[in-house]
Amino acid sequence: MEAVTGADLSFVNLGITIEHLPNSITVFGFRIAFYGIIIGLGMLAGMAIACSDAKRRGQDPILFGFCALRHLYFSSYGGPGPTTLFSTGQIIRMICCRYLTSGQVDWLIYGGVIAAALTLIVFTKKRKLSFFSMADSGVLGLITGQMIGRWGNFFNCEAFGGYTDNLFAMRIRKSLVNPAMISQQLVDNEIVENGIAYIQVHPTFLYESLWNLGVLVFMLWYRKRKKFEGEMLWVYFLGYGLGRVWIEGLRTDQLKIPGTGFAVSQLLSAALVGVSAAVIIYRHRHPKKGGQSGGIRHRVYLKSHSRHLPAPTFGKTAGKWWGNHGIVPHQGH
């Protein structure tokens, strides 16, 4: 089946054609990138899933909102998180301006995951909460955000694989693609129709989005069956890592280790898979006495002591909002 002449993009073997693929919209003279919109939707959906699971487990969902803001600020601007210099409203506006207008994210996915982990470590340590208990809910939001966010690559015509003619083969107008992402294999298999050059590729963004959907469905099913606190975190690393090991091998924009044929993300993913599998197997074979290593204790603690947690330093706006929700800052720490 042939692509329609002049189309920007088509899934040639599925009969799906997009004549014009925009990458942004303009509202009152303000350019908003679809990439940023999709990333934003992924973040909101991820926070909703994480907060819902936290509430189900007896945790305070408000904490996840503040922790997420700290993570976004840290990832976007390199700082430790919002301080008294900025109100919550200012932080949100700064983050939105960066993502919605740029059309890209400056850090790799693993950089974002590392930033999230560091933020959560500091956040839970400062407030004397369980890192693994919060992480078990947080990773549900993380995989949701990654599942949705990958569609931003679709609008940017990026993060694709090498040549293929399989069922999901995606044909893209060559002029829409960054030349640095076009491999010699794609050049050798270039398709020209009526004077228009196309490349035909693996839609790896689609593969990863569907894979992450499968991981999310499994995690939602398994969360009530976990054997120890932190297991959902390791299940996430295992499931997501397996997908990246496969998908990174298809992509043409890999950052490879000099002198080897391996991509950095592929090796990181393989390491995560190995470590995660080892931790899960070990903890299942050597369960700690008392069940889920204090999981019930942490849930009760969070529910019964949430009104005595120290107020986060987000400025007057956040402090007022925190107080409006009936949470009294603890003065003696």
pLDDT in tens, 173-201: 999 999 988 999 999 999 998 889 999 99
69 compared with 246, residue with greater pLDDT = 246
Average pLDDT over residues 210-217: 97
Report residue 160's pLDDT band, with 50, 70 and 90 as the boundaries.
very high
* C-alpha torsion 29→35→36→40, nearest 10: 140
Nearest of 222, 225, 13, 237 to residue 143 by alpha carbon: 237
What is the predicted pLDDT for the residue at 78? 42
Q: Out of 64-73, 78-87, 211-220, which region has the weakest mean confidence (pLDDT)?
A: 78-87
**pLDDT above 80 (res 202):** yes
What is the predicted pLDDT for the residue at 231? 96
Most confident region among 93-102, 223-232, 289-298 by mean pLDDT: 223-232
**pLDDT above 70 (res 168):** yes
Report residue 155's pLDDT band, with 50, 70 and 90 as the boundaries.
very high
Average pLDDT over residues 278-287: 94
Average pLDDT over residues 204-226: 96
**pLDDT above 60 (res 287):** yes
What is the predicted pLDDT for the residue at 136? 92
pLDDT in tens, 141-150: 989 989 999 9
Most confident region among 128-142, 256-270, 304-318 by mean pLDDT: 128-142
Q: Out of 79-83, 161-165, 189-193, 306-310, which region has the weakest mean confidence (pLDDT)?
A: 79-83
Average pLDDT over residues 130-134: 87
Report residue 71's pLDDT band, with 50, 70 and 90 as the boundaries.
low
pLDDT in tens, 21-70: 998 888 888 888 888 889 889 888 988 998 899 888 888 777 766 666 55
Average pLDDT over residues 260-266: 77
Tokens of 154: 């679709």
**pLDDT above 60 (res 203):** yes
